[in-house]
Structure 1
């Protein structure tokens, strides 16, 4: 079997954000904040916790895989036939005042171009919305 058939694509978005990892972690893990930049949810930062992200177009079924406070958050993202994994990585910047925030959504099959391109287009908007939430968080 050729590896090309099983090869999957990833969407990666990386931004330097002028806030410490602790503040960004709140936006990634507190349900009322997640709702403001991503979707309605019943998230809890606990390994194996199953949660849903709910939008007008449907529901994303998720399960938390990894939680390392202020550093890494990983969860499955299953919707509309897509079985993918979203990994958030927070790294303090050299100056220490900001954070390099990296999001990778992996697991898009070659026949899932619509989902792949949708994610490529959508995640930058979610990042922008998160930055707006962070800007007014105390």
Structure 2
């Protein structure tokens, strides 16, 4: 399985102006009402481009109480009719590839000292 195979993507059009959707994603009280997060959820903003995209590190207790991290990215665009094109991408953490693995990995160059 590749990293992109594990990625979850949800797309829809919301019947609300872009600025209203942005507020729902960025104002803590609105975000809490919208997401209804569990008590063990920790959200940390990683990147934000106002009224366009927002990425959170999503950390919650996994099996055995071990924290599990993933990245949740919201992308917004006006649809020209007062609505908002909405795309949510949930990406699991990228695990490092073992040096002796046959899985493809990014090409690296090492410089000798």
TM-score, normalising length: structure 1: 0.56
Structure with a larger share of its residues in helix: 1
Runs of 5+ unmatched residues, structure 1: 40-53, 110-138
Q: Cα distance, 1:108 vs. partner?
A: 6.2
Which residue number in structure 2 is paired with residue 136 of structure 1?
A: none
1:99 aligns with 2:80: no
Q: Does 1:77 align with 2:74?
A: no
Instruction: Pick the structure with greater CA Rg.
Output: 2
- With over 3 angstroms needed to count, the CA separation of the structure-2 counterparts of 1:66 and 1:108, relative to structure 1, is closer
CA RMSD of aligned residues (A): 2.0
1:62 aligned partner: 43
Query: How does 1:1-138 map onto structure 2 within 5 Å?
Result: 4=1, 7=3, 9-39=6-36, 54-55=37-38, 58-79=39-60, 80=62, 81-93=67-79, 95-107=80-92
Q: How many residues end up aligned between the 2 structures?
A: 88
TM-score scaled by length of structure 2: 0.67
